[in-house]
């Protein structure tokens, strides 16, 4: 199949997807239907195998021990949301952010950064922090569009700040050190958080009428007293990160610890009742089912894309152009952005690594650096229509149209591009920490 044929197939499937989404078809069903259409029209597979591939891909996308952490972390967020813990978190942070432009809006970035280091999942981070932050920010009068844009993009910190499932997949595909790529993600993660917070501060200075008035700034001792309610939650997060980094528990086990800890903290503060316990459980079930159904539909579409050969043909076409190293990086960035409109991040890595990684090595790029580069591109894919996963999560949680959320995320999207440009011009941002900790030859 030639490059023109592949482009026509990809365009046709994209049009079908847009028509279904525009017609109000459920997201998960849309992804599965597009996969079915692609398999029926553009592969020579026997019809009896279509259903087999549908069931196998949907089952394999759900039968994962790592994914067991997803509903648990979401439940943890529901507990924080439905008890007084979320309100206490804002009360504890408010005195310290009173003089920072944007004030409590920065909690979306800080919360996603902290929680992302625990969950390793973009969807779990976005869903959990949105459950806690959105209602409180809206109640206090902060701009909802800015909050949605910040949450959609800052939620992707879950796959950049280690530990990250996406990083593990890349390390296996590239035969690279998992520890080195974990270490390489820290500084870019903090840089991205700084860029996001910097934009929020700049926006707040430009639009002072859209930021609620600052409360009187208390003295230092009063700040400490008000922040006392943060201590239990902070200790819980530190404990989860500690046992995970020490290797004493998996991400799923850490998620279970998080649920138990949240229940214990809520009970000790006397804000846990039978009603909000059941409501948190049902809320976590609804959000988890929504995410798992979308993952299942995406898995079938990914299998169809693999059978049609679109990702492989696209990568081989780039290889045939004979580009200079930085031109190659620029073209690959565009290619991955295009793939991100139809594939999830792990699938992008798995389906293209066999062709792309030899090209990267031949061009002289460090594979650890390229791992962070591709993770940042996957982050952009998470907020790129029509299959931006974080857009779907927020759409189902808020009722807002995914295109509305995507428009709100555009400034933060630009910050992601700035971060990619910075690590490309200054690759030491990525390579310094792993080299300093493990040495250059390891």
Tens of pLDDT, residue by residue over 81-91, are 676 665 666 66
Greater model confidence, 335 or 62: 335
The predicted model gives 124-130 an average pLDDT of: 76
- In this prediction, what percent of the chain has a pLDDT beyond 70? 82
**How far does the chain reach from its first CA to its final CA, in angstroms?**
42
pLDDT at residue number 98: 66
pLDDT digits (tens, 9 = 90+) for 214-241: 666 677 777 777 777 777 777 887 787 6
pLDDT digits (tens, 9 = 90+) for 329-377: 888 888 888 777 766 677 677 667 766 777 787 777 889 999 999 888 8
Q: What rounded mean pLDDT belongs to the chain?
A: 78
CA distance 442 to 436: 11
Say which residue the tokens 């679109």 belong to.
310
The predicted model gives 144-164 an average pLDDT of: 83
The predicted model gives 303-331 an average pLDDT of: 76
pLDDT at residue number 390: 80
pLDDT at residue number 242: 75
The predicted model gives 9-25 an average pLDDT of: 79
The predicted model gives 178-190 an average pLDDT of: 85
pLDDT at residue number 351: 65
353-361: list long-range contacts, CB under 8 Å, 24+ apart.
Answer: 353/170, 353/173, 353/174, 354/312, 355/312, 355/315, 355/316, 355/319, 356/315, 356/318, 356/332, 357/173, 357/174, 359/315, 359/318, 359/319, 359/328, 360/328
pLDDT at residue number 191: 94
Task: Find the helix packing angle between 274-308 and 122-140, rounded to 10°.
Answer: 130
pLDDT digits (tens, 9 = 90+) for 248-284: 777 678 778 888 888 888 888 777 888 888 988 888 8
pLDDT at residue number 6: 67
pTM exceeds cut of 0.95: no
pLDDT at residue number 245: 63
The predicted model gives 423-430 an average pLDDT of: 92
Asked if 318 contacts 331 with a C-beta cutoff of 8 angstroms, the reply is yes
Question: Which of 336, 430, 424 is closest to 378 using CA atoms?
Answer: 336
Question: Which of 176, 178, 182, 139 is closest to 161 using CA atoms?
Answer: 182
pLDDT at residue number 387: 63
Greater model confidence, 429 or 229: 429
pLDDT exceeds 60 at position 2: no
Greater model confidence, 169 or 118: 169
**CA-to-CA separations, 298 to 36, 90, 104, in angstroms, rounded:** 11, 36, 35
Task: Find the helix packing angle between 144-154 and 178-206, rounded to 10°.
Answer: 170
Q: How does residue 399 score in pLDDT terms, banded at 50, 70 and 90?
A: confident
ω before 163 within 30° of 0 (cis)?
yes
pLDDT at residue number 4: 46
3-state secondary structure the chain: CCHHHHHHHHHHHHHHHHHHHHCCCCHHHHHHHHHHHHHHHHCCCCHHHHHHHHHHHHHHHHCCCHHHHHHHHHHHHHHHHHCCHHHHHHHHHHHHHCCCCCHHHHHHHHHHHHHHHHHCCHHHHHHHHHHHHHHHHHHHCCCHHHHHHHHHHHHHHHHCCCCCHHHHHHHHHHCCCHHHHHHHHHHHHHHHHHHHHHHHHHHHHHCHHHCCCCCCCCCHHHHHHHHHHHHHHHHHHHHHHHHHHCCCCCHHHHHHHHHHHHHHHHHHCCCCCHHHHHHHHHHHHHHHHHHHHHHHHHHHHHHHHHHHCHHHHHHHHHHCCCCCHHHHHHHHHHHHHHHCCCCCHHHHHHHHHHHHHHHHHHHCCCHHHHHHHHHHHHHHHHCCCCCCHHHHHHHHHHCCCHHHHHHHHHHHHHHHHHHHHHHHHCCHHHHHHHHHHHCCCC
The predicted model gives 381-403 an average pLDDT of: 77
pLDDT exceeds 90 at position 196: yes
pLDDT exceeds 50 at position 200: yes
Instruction: Calculate the CA dihedral of residues 361, 366, 368, 374 and round it to 10 degrees.
Output: -70
Q: How does residue 33 score in pLDDT terms, banded at 50, 70 and 90?
A: confident
**CA-to-CA separations, 356 to 332, 336, 363, in angstroms, rounded:** 9, 11, 11
Question: CB atoms < 10 A from the CB of 65, how many?
Answer: 9
Residues in Cβ contact with 279 at an 8 Å cutoff, skipping those fewer than 6 apart: 78, 82
């Amino acid at each position: 199949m030639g490059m023109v044929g592949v482009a026509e197939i990809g365009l046709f499937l994209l049009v079908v997807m847009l028509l279904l989404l525009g017609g109000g078809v459920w997201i998960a069903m849309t992804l599965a239907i597009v996969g079915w259409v692609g398999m029926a029209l553009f592969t020579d597979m026997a019809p009896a195998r279509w259903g087999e591939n549908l069931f196998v891909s949907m089952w394999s996308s759900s039968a994962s021990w790592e994914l067991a952490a997803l509903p648990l972390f979401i439940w943890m967020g529901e507990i924080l949301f439905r008890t007084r813990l979320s309100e206490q978190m804002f009360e504890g942070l408010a005195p310290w952010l009173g003089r920072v432009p944007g004030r409590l809006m920065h909690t979306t970035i800080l919360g996603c950064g902290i929680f992302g280091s625990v969950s390793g999942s973009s969807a779990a981070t976005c869903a959990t922090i949105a459950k806690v932050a959105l209602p409180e920010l809206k109640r206090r009068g902060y701009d909802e569009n800015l909050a949605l844009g910040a949450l959609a993009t800052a939620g992707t910190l879950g796959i950049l700040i280690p530990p990250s499932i996406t990083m593990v997949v890349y390390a296996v595909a590239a035969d690279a050190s998992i520890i080195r790529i974990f270490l390489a993600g820290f500084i870019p993660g903090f840089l991205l958080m700084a860029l996001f917070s910097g934009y929020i501060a700049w926006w707040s200075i430009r639009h002072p009428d859209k930021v609620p008035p600052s409360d009187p700034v208390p003295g230092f001792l009063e700040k400490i007293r008000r922040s006392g309610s943060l201590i239990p939650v902070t200790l819980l997060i530190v404990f989860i990160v500690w046992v995970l980094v020490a290797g004493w528990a998996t991400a799923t086990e850490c998620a279970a610890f998080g649920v138990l800890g949240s229940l214990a903290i809520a009970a000790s503060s006397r804000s846990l009742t039978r009603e909000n316990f059941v409501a948190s459980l049902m809320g976590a079930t609804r959000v988890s089912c929504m995410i798992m159904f979308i993952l299942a539909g995406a898995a079938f579409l990914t299998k169809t894309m693999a059978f049609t050969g679109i990702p492989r043909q696209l990568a081989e076409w780039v290889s045939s152009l004979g580009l200079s190293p930085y031109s190659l990086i620029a073209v690959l960035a565009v290619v991955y952005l295009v793939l991100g409109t139809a594939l999830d991040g792990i699938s992008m890595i798995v389906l293209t690594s066999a062709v792309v990684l030899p090209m990267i090595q031949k061009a002289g790029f460090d594979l650890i650096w390229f791992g962070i580069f591709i993770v940042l591109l996957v982050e952009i894919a998470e907020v790129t229509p029509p299959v931006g996963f974080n857009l779907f999560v927020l759409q189902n949680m808020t009722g807002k149209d995914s295109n509305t959320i995507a428009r709100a995320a555009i400034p933060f999207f630009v910050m992601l591009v700035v971060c990619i440009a910075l690590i490309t011009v200054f690759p030491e941002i990525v390579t310094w920490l792993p080299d300093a900790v493990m040495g250059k030859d390891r």
